[in-house]
Amino acid sequence: MMGRNRPKVVYGSPGGVVLMPGLEGERLDMPTVIEWKHFLENQPDRSVVDYFFILHRTDTFNLYRDRIHFYPSNASFLLQNLTWADQGIYKMIVDLDESNADSVLLVLIDVVSQPRVMTNSSCAQSTIKLQCFACGKLVSFTWARDGGSVPKDLWLSTDNTSLVIDRATGADSATYTCSVQNPVSQKETPFKLVIDDRCNFQTGRAGGVIVTIVLIPLIVIPWGLTVYYWRKSVPTQPIIEWWRVSAIWVPSFCTSPVNH
């Protein structure tokens, strides 16, 4: 039975539909009248819907007319086309006894965004990190591999936003699916990972060092000379600002805090 001291929390999304729970158990035994009211902070309470059992009559009030489907069997109702103004405490008052009313807290949150998956590598023998990004409140993350569970030798971050494959091999090639959900929505995105043996991390390391040693002087010296002569002809501040913006660029995805 719904507690009458602490409100039961019900979640909805703007434009969506929510079911307000009704009577349960012994409270179903022959009530005479049910009143649903909406309570807002620092505002007068609003009557939502009344039901008279003997008369089998439903009275829905103006702000909620055409948005409510009432169920006389247990005095619950569907509230449709939700708006942010619908948030707040709703009380179901049985036989005018407000001291014994059931309370429901309606909280609206947006549906979660479509998740995006990014990776840092697909090379054999490298440590591959799949990162899942999504926007929303109260978001949780789960991963699947080829439609099944993720093998135990793969590592998941504490918040499940990252999946890490250490020393990847061809056997790790698969479709990894990131699923995100919150109380009002659920979405998923598959990511096909193909391990590339041609860019083997171990064999490519020495060559990469040599190439880096050769290329650094060819890139840094001309760039340094360009900046030196440029600074003589233009103010310093624009150069600093350009470098600051370039250095901190990151993908414009929401990460996944519990309350974004």
User: Each residue of 19-77: pLDDT tens digit?
Assistant: 999 888 766 777 789 999 999 888 888 999 999 988 889 999 988 989 999 999 889 99
Contact between 139 and 160 under an 8 Å Cβ cutoff? The reply is no
Q: Report the 10 Å Cβ neighbour count for 40.
A: 13
Orientation angle between helical segments 236-247 and 201-233, nearest 10 degrees: 160
**Residues of the chain with confidence (pLDDT) below 70:** 1-5, 26-27, 200-260
Nearest to 11, CA basis, from 112, 97, 93: 112
Phi, psi of 180 (to 5 degrees): -125, 145
pLDDT of residue 212: 46
DSSP letter (8 states) at residue 157:
-
pLDDT of residue 209: 44
Residue whose tokens read 């409140």: 137
pLDDT of residue 224: 59
- How deeply is 65 buried, as exposed, middle or buried, from its count of CB atoms within 10 A (0-12, 13-18, 19+)? exposed
Alpha carbon distance 128, 122 (integer Å): 7
pLDDT of residue 4: 52
Tokens of 91: 């009380």
Phi, psi of 5 (to 5 degrees): -95, -50
Nearest to 190, CA basis, from 114, 113, 128: 114
pLDDT of residue 234: 44
Tell me the residue type at 93: I
Neighbour order of strands in the sheet with 174-182? 140-145, 174-182, 185-193
Residue whose tokens read 């609206």: 108
DSSP 236-249: HHHHHHHHHHHHT-
pLDDT of residue 193: 96
pLDDT of residue 108: 96
pLDDT of residue 219: 55
Alpha helices by DSSP H, listed for the chain, are 201-233, 236-247
Per-residue burial over 108-120, b if 16 or more Cβ lie within 10 Å, else e, is: bbebbbebbbeee
Which distant-in-sequence residues (6+ apart) come within 8 Å of 117 by Cβ? 130, 131, 132, 133, 176, 178, 189, 191
pLDDT of residue 204: 43
